Amino acid sequence: MHRSAHRLTRILAASAAVPAILLATGCSMLGGGDDGSGSESTPSQKPEATPTVKAAKYSKLPDACSSIPEKTVKALVPKVKSPSGTAVKSSDAAARGGCTWSGLDDNGLKGSDFRWLDVSFQRYESDTALGTGEKRAEAFFKKQTAALAKPEGGKDVGTGRAEGIGDEAATVSYKETKDKETYVNQTVIARTANVVVTVNYNGAGLQGAKDPKSADLLKDAQQALASAVSAVK
């Protein structure tokens, strides 16, 4: 009886040790020790930097019909139909806009003087994929100037530079015939930062009146352009 009790005591002691061994083994498998024997940790990765681009200087455009003073409009377009101008419809007024004026000074048998004036604005926003607004405006200015220098049906085409207007400015002059009448055209285009401004000014002497001088029209067109560029600021 004494030997049986002693044997039972050893069996119970051995059985009690098993959970402790399993627990120790489980902790080792879970890597809970302080000796670094657990699973390898993945180092944290730094987020990629978001590309940035210099913000465009101008975030909006002026009202095109107010960009050229009414006094100037009346001087350039005699008998103007609407001194306040006719706005060109735009799907995005912050990116583009325009306005037109026309007038006919009818002198009966002495002939008539016709004038047409229009102004347009094109603004570019900075874009991380396309570049700064200024660079995009520069590209448009060059492309537009090249296209204007090849007017369809134009003759006696002349090109030049305009000094003191915006960051850069160019001029294109030519003549064209419509309904047997000769029209003298002057187009001046300027870039100021991320905005490109274009002014078209043309005139004709109708019913025997003398045609306007190209140099006079160019001077007037540059005056209108300077006002429009100033309005952007």
Integer Cα distance of 200 and 58 in angstroms = 23
From 132, 141, 122, 125, select the one nearest 59 (Cα to Cα).
125
pTM of the model: 0.78
User: Is residue 160 assigned to a domain?
Assistant: yes
Opening angle at CA 159, ends 69 and 150, nearest 5: 100
The torsion defined by the Cα of 14, 17, 18 and 23, in degrees rounded to 10, comes to 180
pLDDT of residue 189: 98
pLDDT of residue 19: 45
User: Is residue 137 assigned to a domain?
Assistant: yes
Distance (Å) of CA 172 to CA 58, 135, 166, 167? 26, 23, 17, 17
**What CATH number does the domain containing 176 carry?**
3.40.1000
pLDDT of residue 107: 87
Domain, as residue range, for 120: 64-232
Tell me how many domains the chain contains: 1
pLDDT of residue 45: 65
Give me the sign of the Cα torsion angle 59, 60, 62, 65: positive
User: Is residue 192 assigned to a domain?
Assistant: yes
pLDDT of residue 131: 97
User: Is residue 120 assigned to a domain?
Assistant: yes
User: Is residue 19 assigned to a domain?
Assistant: no
User: Is residue 84 assigned to a domain?
Assistant: yes
Integer Cα distance of 101 and 190 in angstroms = 20
Mean pLDDT by 10 residues, the chain (233 residues): 45 44 40 47 61 93 98 97 96 96 92 96 97 98 97 95 97 95 97 98 94 97 98 93
